[in-house]
Amino acid sequence: MTEPLSLQIIGSKALGGAERWFARFARALAETGARAELAIRAGGALEELDLGPLPLHRLPLRTVWDPLSRYAISRLIARVQPDIVQTYMGRATRLTHLKPPSRPGQGPVHVARLGGYYALHPYRHAQAWIGNTRGLCDWLVQQGLPAGRVHHIYNFVEPAQPVAPERLAGLRAELGLSAEAWVLVSAGRFVPVKGLTHLIEALARLPRTIADRPVRLVLLGEGPLGPALRRKAEAAGIGDRIHWAGWQREPGPYFQMADLVVFPSLEEETLGNVILEAWTWSKPLVTSLFRGAREIARHGEDAWCLPCGDARALAEGIAIVLGDDLLRQDLARAGQARVRAEFARDPIMARYRDLYRQLVGAA
């Protein structure tokens, strides 16, 4: 069978985890030789990211009801003639409506990729669905989607690409981090589900030094809770212990400098790419046991896992892991083994390409 041609459509205006995944997936499509083209929102933040060499189309994608955007998608599909149209998030999915093929291989198949427990009305008209956790896929079937058309494929992470020691030293100096400081790194949009209020409370409970080394937190991200989080840190008297690094297009150097990655998300978090990032950088991880972490993390083996929303437990977990050299080494080693075995790029991309062939043949 000829390699199916896919058209990947996303309508995001701002950047977040889904957009970083789209960019990573787009580059991987090109690097693994897949036939694919991309469509993004014109003027959106995705234009700032490296999307690789695939053909790139810019569409209006202004609102979920915009008839001009829907027409633009229809025209693009007619021009590109893809076998698979894969949409991300609600906007692109709502605006994409395809007629079911009359027989296999006749006309494109609409695949909606979901990375969260969203209201399903905007997604039900698709012909197949991809969920990035088993729990999400089970839930999609429970909500009435046909089990034979719901497919589970995990996210992958790219291999770590360490930077030179002098660059790390410069980054530490830029952030005002002393050479002896413990560096805790947490990444994610400043929104409630990320649990950052509990992380700030946990930091306030920790001593200023552990094993005679000052404890510092580097936060990678931006979002609507930013001002409130800063006020909370100042009110707790720990403003000088937090370094607000902002949204990072390339967060790798921050993970590289981390002594510990902390991910305090709440139950609603679906997967948690930061877990995979910590593992791929061979860093010890402290994470809350939200539903995604319960599926992929193993307490005491590849992560130190704690209840969601519990600042006291989070502080105790951070102190335990920072205070035990052997535990940090074991967690990091096991995490890296997990990511190589289960979340590497090539096996995940092979699953996507196999699914595309399956869908085109069975549509």
Q: What is the DSSP string of 14-60?
A: S-SHHHHHHHHHHHHHHHTT-EEEEEEETTSGGGGS---SS-EEEE-
Does pLDDT of 39 surpass 60? yes
The answer to which of 103-112, 154-163, 307-316, 353-362 has the lowest mean pLDDT is 103-112
Q: What is the pLDDT of residue 132?
A: 96
Across 6-34, average pLDDT: 93
Residue with tokens 């036939």: 35
The residues, ordered by sequence, that sit 6+ positions from 202 with a Cβ below 8 Å of its Cβ are 264, 311, 312, 314, 315, 318
**Angle between helix 325-342 and helix 311-322 axes, rounded to 10 deg:** 100
Q: What is the pLDDT of residue 64?
A: 86
Residue with tokens 């609603």: 268
Task: Give me the torsion for CA of 92, 196, 334, 343, rounded to 10°.
Answer: 0
Q: d(Cα 93, Cα 125) in Å, to the nearest integer? A: 9
**Angle between helix 273-280 and helix 17-31 axes, rounded to 10 deg:** 50
Task: Find the distance separating the first CA and the last CA of the chain, reported in whole Å.
Answer: 14
Residue with tokens 């494929």: 153
**Cα 268 off chain centre by:** 14
- Output the six-digit token pair for 335: 């995490």
- With CA atoms as reference, report the closest residue to 277 among 350, 325, 191, 338: 338
Residues 97 and 72 sit within 8 Å (Cβ to Cβ): no
Q: What is the pLDDT of residue 112?
A: 98
Going by pLDDT thresholds of 50, 70 and 90, the confidence category of residue 51 is very high
Q: d(Cα 230, Cα 240) in Å, to the nearest integer? A: 11
pLDDT tens figures, 160-169: 999 999 999 9
Q: What is the pLDDT of residue 249?
A: 84
pLDDT tens figures, 134-193: 999 999 999 999 999 999 999 999 899 999 999 999 999 999 999 999 999 999 999 999
Q: d(Cα 83, Cα 68) in Å, to the nearest integer? A: 23
Q: What is the pLDDT of residue 15?
A: 84
Domains along the chain with CATH numbers: 5-156+344-362 (3.40.50.2000), 165-342 (3.40.50.2000)
CA distances from 265 to 48, 86, 121, 206 (A): 27, 28, 26, 19
DSSP at 75: H
Q: d(Cα 185, Cα 264) in Å, to the nearest integer? A: 11
- With CA atoms as reference, report the closest residue to 262 among 336, 174, 321: 321
* Proportion of the chain above pLDDT 70, given as a percent: 98
Three-class secondary structure of residue 160 per DSSP:
coil
- With CA atoms as reference, report the closest residue to 69 among 36, 98, 44, 92: 92
CA distances from 6 to 37, 38, 87, 182, 353 (A): 6, 8, 10, 45, 10
Residues 347 and 88 sit within 8 Å (Cβ to Cβ): no
Residues 43 and 75 sit within 8 Å (Cβ to Cβ): no
> For 274, what's the count of Cα atoms within 13 Å in the CB-facing half-sphere?
30
Rg of the chain, C-alpha, whole Å: 21
Partners of 133 in beta bridges: none
pLDDT tens figures, 229-255: 999 999 999 999 999 999 898 899 999
Partners of 111 in beta bridges: 86, 128
Amino acid at 72: A
